[in-house]
Each structure stands twice: as structure tokens, then as C-alpha cells.
Chains A and B, each alone.
Chain A
Amino acid sequence: MIEVQHVTKRYGPTVAVDDVSFRVERGQILGFLGPNGAGKTTTMRVLTGYMPPTDGRAIIAGYDVFEEPVKAKRQTGYLPESPPLYPDMTVREYLTFVARINGIAAGDRHARVDTAMRRTSVADVADRHCGKLSKGYRQRVGLAQAILHNPGVLILDEPTAGLDPKQIIETRELIKELAGDHTIILSTHILPEVSQTCERVVIINKGRVVAEDTPDNLTGRLHGSATIHLQVDTGGADPTAALLQVPGVTGVSLGEVGSDGRGVDVHSAEGADVRRDVAGAVVSQGWGLLEIRRARLSLEEIFLQLTTTEEEEEAAETGEALPEIETGDPGATAAAGPNGPPGP
């Protein structure tokens, strides 16, 4: 349904996207992950026909975006990074305008606009001017605009940016619901979002695809071994020796001591679930077990892993010094923390 073939995009000397290829099958949701400046927005702009690629092709529903732009665009709903609202139109006027330019017949417009507003919960601001909306509402009206004409392909650039936790969950639900008869690409900085909503993930860094897989495989592959995280109150004792006694545990690394006890990461061989035994060991020592969960890799950690290996290899090949590693936006991930999945 969506095909990106060897797309390269240069802005003058800057290479924003470098030979990126991937495809999304009908009905799938693809998560497009990457740190700031990775080239996510640029790729999406090429896909939506906003700008032509320097090289390569983008195909939507069988139409080359730059050879048959009108046909391809008719199939596409696009939420740009900053929602393209006209400040002096009310939400209803704006959506009606969008319905018009998408060729929705006059008789249908009213119903379509109402449906889109209901699905994105913006009906309560229908008569407010777009310029006076809060960031979250702007984002939601932008989403309403994208789904209004019921396009086969949805391209959403950070659809949950700026939303409150409740809205984030509702938007994710909406996206999953849409996936049935729409093909979706969404970009994000937030890993839990991807594992919750997407069937496939493309990770892009500095314009290149560094990984493409299902979220589970990706986290699994990157884990290598399983890690669980503990918060224990040992009353000052060092828990390392006691934890290493537990069968299956291959390593222990100590974290900081805080008001919440001491943080400890316990590593085990892949496939072994040592949580029960570790908990038992802690309790039998008479320590307080304040928290136990399976450690999840954040996007930053995944990036660290992916980009480090890539660059170490490169450095080894060329004999250059290791360049500084770029990480994702910690703010975005931290903000999403409360909505991330609790450890299974």
C-alpha cells in the first residue's frame, strides 16, 4: 500500500534522508522511530507529495506520488508535525474547508465533519477559532482533518505530541481502530507507543534506516539477555552476593541508593524468568522488597545500542575516533512514562 524506494533527500549540502526503503502492507500500522533530526518528517513530506525526493520513488496505493500526484493525494490523509490550521476559521469551518478541497460532495460534508469531530473528541470546540485552541486541541483538529475524507493511507507525524495522558490513550485507540481499513505510518519518539500500537517498526537515525522489525523482535533482539530491576531496602548491606546465589542469575549491577531503597539490576540468561526466586532471596534475607519489574529498554537505550554498534563498526573500519552518540529526546520519553506499559 505504501512503498518507499531508495529515497534520498538533500537540503543543499545536508543529507536529511539517505537511501531509505521500506514498505507497509494494507491495514498495517508502521511506527517510524528516530531521534530529533533523524529525517522522519522529511520522509513523510516526500511520501505525502509535499516535496519531491532528490532520488528514489514513493508509491501510495499504486500511484507514484510525483507522477500521479492528485490520485496519490486523494488516498492520503496527512497530519503534519505542526497541525496546518487557519487561525481565523472555526473548527467546523476549517474541517468543512478540508472536506471541500478533498472533493467531498456537499450533501456528505456535514456528516463527515461531525464524524471526524466525534472520533477525535473535538466536538466541544466546534465553534471555537482554530487560532485560540490549546496545543492538544490543535493536534486533535489536525488529526480530524487527516481522517476526514476516510483515506486509505494515513501519515501521522507525531500524532500524540502535546496531548494529555487520557487523550494519548484515546488517540492510540483511535489509531488502532483505524488500522483495519487504513494503512498507517506514524512517527514518534516514544517506544511504548510503538510497542502498543504498531505492528512493525522502522528505526531511522541520521537519515538511514538502522533497524526494521516487529516491536517484540526488536526489544528482544536488543535485550540479548533478560534484565529485571529491583528496588530493595537492605539496610546498608551489599545485596550482590546473595543475589548471585539465585539460580539463573548471571550478573548483578548496583544502582543508586535513594529514599526508595537501592536500585539493583539483575541479569539472567535469556528465557529464564528469575523474578520469583530473586524475590524469595531478598525476602529470606530480611530485606524490604519495594519494587520488582522487568527492565524495558527505552528508545534512548535502543538508540544507544543501535547507533553505538553501527558507529563502532564504522570507526573500526575507517580507523576514526568514535563520534559522539546522538540520543533521542529524553523529555518526550519521560513525559510518556506514566502511560508506558507496566512490566508484564
Chain B
Amino acid sequence: MRNIATIAHKELRSYFVSPIAYVVVGFFAILFGYFFVANLSVMVRFSMQAGMFGMGGQSININEFMIRPLLSNTAIVLLFFLPFLTARAYAEEKKSGTIELLLTSPLSDLEIILGKFLGVLALFALMLVVTGAHMGILFWYGEPELGPMLSGYLGLLLMGASFISVGLLVSSATRNQVVAGVITFALLLLFWVLSWMADSVGPTSQAVLSYLSILEHFDDFSKGVIDTKHVTYYVSFIALGLFLTAKAVDTERWRG
């Protein structure tokens, strides 16, 4: 456990001594801010129209109009950002030769993998915290429900962790960060759009495809529903990703 924390700390630290953390968190915050303002203006216009047509008595549901679309937008932004964070995880260690230090130290492969996973996850969690500040504004001026927002965040966290496990797997198989980033992004995109094909295939394949699609499982969380089916999906996805990473590290070791 202490070993995992040591690696996680080293990973997290390395993002902050390089510009990576500042660039990624900074631009993520800018984008999120933009989405926030855009959604807000849509909501304001809508509520003014509603007021004009005499429906002013009903207040607008902030959860439906602000929080849910914001979280969905965030999910898409993560698809673009997280591959940049995971790309270096193994690729850089291989390139600089420090992998030789880690693999010959008395750490197990699993400890190294979990440490790296938690290190990236911590930075990702920080990105979510940044979005929390904006959400705070909504609670200051309005009265949204807390429950659906929290379940939405849980969904984001699980989905992001799944992205990270894919990123680690890809990074462990190459020494080139650009290659790792591009392949991770392509794979995530593929998982994302799997459900699009679901409509044009038979019913069985449809069920399988939409079950596999990362996006489908996120929807319920953003609606405020925590379904064990979806939690199980993400947790198994993460576990499989980390397991395959362990296999890949071992295979690399055999190949030399």
C-alpha cells in the first residue's frame, strides 16, 4: 500500500513540475467556463420566454437545464484531455530508461500500475474539483438538487477512470508519447460511438453494442440514477484495463 502511494505521489508530482498539469487543468477550466456561460445564457433566455408566455409561476429546473448538459459536455471534453495525461505514464519511463529502475526495484508490477493509475486519477479528480467551483455558483443563486449532481460526478469519475485505464494500457505498449496519445484517443472515440451502430444491426448485436458503449452507461448517472448495472460496467472496465496493462508490461519484459 505504501509502495502504491509512493508511485502515485511521484506521478502526480511529475505533472506539476512539468507544464502538463497547468496546461491541462487550465485549458480544461477555460473550456468548462465557456460551456457554463453558454448553458447559462440558454437557460436565461428560456426562462425569460417562459415568463413572457405566462408560465412564470413554475421555476426552471436547474438540474435539467444546467447541470446535466454541463456534465455531458464535460464527459466529451475528458475524452480529448485524458489521453494527454496518460500518454506519458509508461512511454516516458521507457524512453528515459527509468523503467529499468522501477522494474528492478522491489515493487510488484501491480503496485507500479496501481500507483500510476491513482496518480493520474488524482489529477483528474482535481479537474473535477475545478468544475465544482462553477457548480457552487448555481447553488448560491438557485436551488438545484444536490443528489443528481453528485451522482453525475460519480459517473464522470467512473468514466474518467475507465479512460485512464485504457490510456495506461496503450502507454505501456509503446515508448512514444504521441503514438500512445493518438491510439488512446482513437480507442476511446471508438467505444464512445459504438452505440451509433446499434441502430443499424440486429437486436442482439444492438444490445451488446450499446452495453459496451461508454456513453450509454453515463446517461443514468447524469439523471441522478445510480444503477449497480452501470457501476459494475465501469468497475469491470477499469479492472480489465489494468489487468491488460499488467499483461502488457509482462509481455514487454519478455520481448526486452
Chain A interface residues toward B at CB < 8 A: 9, 11, 42, 45, 48-52, 69-71, 73-74, 76, 78, 80, 82-89, 97-98, 100-103, 145
**In the bound complex, what is the Cα–Cα distance between A84 and B103 (angstroms)?**
11
A50-B104, A76-B104, A97-B10 known; A82 vs B97 contact (CB < 8 Å): yes
Check if B137 is an interface residue, CB within 8 A of chain A: no
Question: Smallest distance from the beta carbon of A39 to chain B beta carbons, Å?
Answer: 12
Residue of B nearest to A51 (CB): B256
Decide if A49 touches B104 in the complex (CB within 8 Å). Answer: yes
Question: Smallest distance from the beta carbon of B215 to chain A beta carbons, Å?
Answer: 36
Residues of B within 8 A of A74 (CB): 106
A84-B98, A86-B14, A145-B101 known; A101 vs B107 contact (CB < 8 Å): yes
Interface string of B102-119 (1 = CB under 8 A from A): 111111100000000000
12 pairs from A and B in contact (CB 8 Å cutoff): A42-B256, A45-B100, A69-B108, A70-B106, A78-B100, A80-B97, A80-B100, A80-B101, A83-B97, A84-B97, A85-B98, A98-B105
Check if B49 is an interface residue, CB within 8 A of chain A: no
**In the bound complex, what is the Cα–Cα distance between A74 and B108 (angstroms)?**
12
**In the bound complex, what is the Cα–Cα distance between A145 and B100 (angstroms)?**
12
Decide if A100 touches B106 in the complex (CB within 8 Å). Answer: no
Given contact pairs A52-B253, A84-B100, a sample of 5 additional A-B residue pairs in the complex whose CB atoms are under 8 Å apart: A70-B106, A84-B98, A84-B101, A86-B10, A86-B98
Decide if B96 touches A84 in the complex (CB within 8 Å). Answer: yes
A48 CB contact (under 8 Å) in B98, B104, B255: B104
Question: Smallest distance from the beta carbon of B69 to chain A beta carbons, Å?
Answer: 39
Decide if A50 touches B253 in the complex (CB within 8 Å). Answer: yes
Residue of A nearest to B104 (CB): A48
Which residues of chain B from 240 to 256 have a CB within 8 Å of any chain A CB? 253-256
Residues of B within 8 A of A82 (CB): 97
Check if B73 is an interface residue, CB within 8 A of chain A: no
Chain B interfacial residues counted at CB < 8 A: 25
**In the bound complex, what is the Cα–Cα distance between A43 and B219 (angstroms)?**
53
A9-B256, A50-B253 known; A101 vs B6 contact (CB < 8 Å): yes
A50-B253, A88-B17 known; A100 vs B96 contact (CB < 8 Å): no
Check if B228 is an interface residue, CB within 8 A of chain A: no
Question: Smallest distance from the beta carbon of B90 to chain A beta carbons, Å?
Answer: 14
Check if B205 is an interface residue, CB within 8 A of chain A: no
Residues of B within 8 A of A51 (CB): 253-254, 256
**In the bound complex, what is the Cα–Cα distance between A100 and B108 (angstroms)?**
14
**In the bound complex, what is the Cα–Cα distance between A42 and B100 (angstroms)?**
12
**In the bound complex, what is the Cα–Cα distance between A50 and B254 (angstroms)?**
9
Most buried by A among B17, B97, B101, B102: B101
Residues of B within 8 A of A50 (CB): 100, 103-104, 253
**In the bound complex, what is the Cα–Cα distance between A87 and B93 (angstroms)?**
11
Most buried by B among A48, A71, A78, A86: A86
Residues of B within 8 A of A83 (CB): 97
Residues of B within 8 A of A86 (CB): 10, 14, 96, 98
Check if B232 is an interface residue, CB within 8 A of chain A: no
**In the bound complex, what is the Cα–Cα distance between A287 and B107 (angstroms)?**
68
Residues of A within 8 A of B204 (CB): none
Residues of B within 8 A of A97 (CB): 6, 10
Decide if A49 touches B103 in the complex (CB within 8 Å). Answer: yes
Question: Smallest distance from the beta carbon of B154 to chain A beta carbons, Å?
Answer: 32
Question: Smallest distance from the beta carbon of A137 to chain B beta carbons, Å?
Answer: 16
Question: Smallest distance from the beta carbon of B95 to chain A beta carbons, Å?
Answer: 11
**In the bound complex, what is the Cα–Cα distance between A102 and B7 (angstroms)?**
12
**In the bound complex, what is the Cα–Cα distance between A97 and B101 (angstroms)?**
11
Question: Smallest distance from the beta carbon of A148 to chain B beta carbons, Å?
Answer: 11
Residue of B nearest to A87 (CB): B96
B106 CB contact (under 8 Å) in A87, A103, A145: A103
Decide if A70 touches B108 in the complex (CB within 8 Å). Answer: yes
Most buried by A among B7, B100, B253, B254: B100
Decide if B253 touches A88 in the complex (CB within 8 Å). Answer: no
